[in-house]
Chains A and B, each alone.
Chain A
Amino acid sequence: MQTVPSRLAGRAMTLAYERRTVAENLTVAVPDHSFTIIIGPNACGKSTLLRALARLLRPTAGAVLLDGGDIQRRPTREVARVVGMLPQSSVAPDGITVADLVARGRHPHQGLLRQWSRDDERIVAGAMADTGVADLADRPVDELSGGQRQRVWIAMALAQQTPLLLLDEPTTYLDIAHQVEVLDLCARLHEEQGRTLVAVLHDLNQAARYATHLVAMRDGAVVAAGEPRQVVTAALVKEVFGLPCRVIDDPETGTPLVVPAAPRRTGNRHQPA
C-alpha cells in the first residue's frame, strides 16, 4: 500500500490481551528514517501497538514485518539489536546506579562469550553524555527526580544502539524545558544519526512540531497518518479526542498549533453570594 520504504510495519494486526481485543485489522508502517509520533486518547491502544511493533506482544492475527519478514520468526536477541523500546513504565532495581542501569542497554550485544568490552564502556558513556546524565553516573537511580530518571531510561535505550527506537511517552514526568530537550535529542538522533524513531506523545503541539510522520489513533484504529500539516486539523482533533478547537500556525515553526475552544458556560456557575 505505502510506497515509502519501511523496515518496520504492522499488517492487518489483531492485538488483544487475554480478554480484551484492543485493535482489529490494524495496519501501520513506520517510514524509514522518520520521526514518527503516535497520538490518541488514553486507552486507545498506542502502547499496545508499540509493544506489538517491538515484539513484546504477539498479534493474534496479522503480522509485524521487520525487513519484510515476520518479526515473530526472528530470535529475540537479534530483534533487540535492531528495534529498541522504552516501555511506558519500567522499574529500576533498588539501589542501582545510573551507570549500571544504562549499561544494561548493552545486553543484546553481549553473550556468554562476548563479555563487557571497551566499546560497551564508550557507548554507555556516550549515551549518558547525550542525555545529560553523565554527572549522575554514580548516583542511585531511586534518588533521582522523575525527570532525571526518565533521561536515564532514555540513555539506556540509546546504549542499545538500535537503528529503530520506540519510545512510549518519553516526555512524561519532564518539565517543559526537559520535554523540549528530550524531543530535541530525538530530533538530533533522527537527523544526525539517521535513526528511525517512533514516540507516543500526548502534547499535540509538540507532536506536530517534531514529527515527520504523525499517526492519530482512536479505539484501536488509525484515523489519520501523514505529515503533521495534513493530519492535525480541527476536524481530526474533534474526531479523535472529542475536543472542539481551532488550529492555527505555530508562530515559531509554522506547524499546526491546537488551541482548545473555550468551554461554553452553562450559566449556572456558582455566583458569589
Chain B
Amino acid sequence: MKLVVMHLTGNYAVAWAVKLSRVKVVSAYPITPQTTIVEKISEFIESGMMDAKIVRVESEHSALATVFGAASSGVRAFTATSSHGLMYMYEMVWWSAGARVPIVMAIVTRTIGAPWNIWSDHSDFMSQRDTGWLMIFAEHNQEVLDSVIQLFRITEDPRVYLPGMIALDAFILSHTTEPVDVPDQSLVDSFLPSRRQPYTFKSGDPITMGNLPSNPRDNMKMRWDVHESLVAAKKVIMEVDREWGELTGRSYGGLIECYRCSDAKYFIIGVGAWVGDMREAVDMLRSEGYEVGLIKLRFVRPFPAEELAEVVRGGKGAIVFDRSVSAGSAGPLYLDTVAHLGALNVGVPVKNVIAGIAGVDVTYNDIAGVVRSFIEEIESKGVVSNYVEWYFG
C-alpha cells in the first residue's frame, strides 16, 4: 500500500477524494465556505490532473440540476454547497432522491440567515433529514477524504441507489489544515468499481422517469422503497467501511463509533467536528472519575437506532449535543435519539444541549462542564430538570 501524507484543508480533502473517485462531471456555485472545493477541482481539471468537465452554473438550484442530469445520463457526478446554497437547492435535493440517482454532494455546514453569518452550525445539513439522501458527518479531514470515497461506493451499490451528502464543519474542518493520507489511485480504483446506476437516459431508448403515477399507492411504494433502501444501506455501510479499513488501515465503525464506552454509565452523543472536543471532554471527566463515554454518530441517515440503543441500554443517562434546532421543538439529533431509544425500550434519561449555533465557540471545557452537571443532577435527583437546554457558553 502506497500512501502519501499531504497537508490538506477539509475542502481540499474533498477535492482530492473527488479526483480519486474519477468523477466525470462537476457543477457548483460559489458560496463561503464551500468555494475552495470547486476552486481546487477546477484547478485539477484545467491543469490536466483530472479528466472531467465542470459546468459553471448560475445558481445552486442549477448546480444540483446539472449534476442530476449528468448522473442520470451515465456518469459519476459531484457538487458541493453550504447554507443558503443548500436552501436554494432544496427542490432538487428531493427530486434526486425520488429519482434514485446516485450523486455525492459535500455540505460545508454553515448557519442560515437572517442575519448573514458564515460560521458553522448544522442547521443547513440537518434540515435535509427528510429528503431520502444518505447523510454522513466527518470529524476530521482524513475522515472527510475517506468518507467521500466510501460514499460514492455506497450510493452506487444496487442495494442502495440513492444520493448521499457529507457534512464537514465550516472553517473548523473546511479551512483548517491537517495531515491527510492520500491513497494511491490504484488503491481507490480497486475499491470503487466503475459507475453503476438504476437506469440511464440515452437517445433511442424511450424510458421515462418522473411522470405522474396512475395509482398513488405506487408512488407511496416508491417513497417506502427510499426509506427501506436507506435502512438496508446500513449493511452496505458496514461492509464498505470494513473493506476500506482492510485496504487503508482506517475505518470508522461504519454507522457509529464509540469512545471509552465499554464501562461507561453516561453517554455523550454528537456529530461532526466537535466530536474531537468531546473526546477531550471524556478524557477529562474520566480523570475526575466520571464513568462517561462518547458515541459519535457518523451517519444520521440512515439513523443508527439499534446500534445506538445497544450501547446506551443499561446505562444511566445520555446527553445529546445538537448544533441546530427544530425551532419550537428540540434539537433534531435529540428528537431522533429519544424517539428510537424510547421505542426500543431503552429507559434512560436523555438530555438535549443546544449549543454552538451560529458559530458560537464551544470548547471541551464547556462540554465537560455541561456533562458534569448533567451527571450530578441525575446522581442526586434521578431526573433531568431542564431536558432541552440552550447553552450559550
> Are chains A and B native binding partners rather than an unrelated pairing?
no
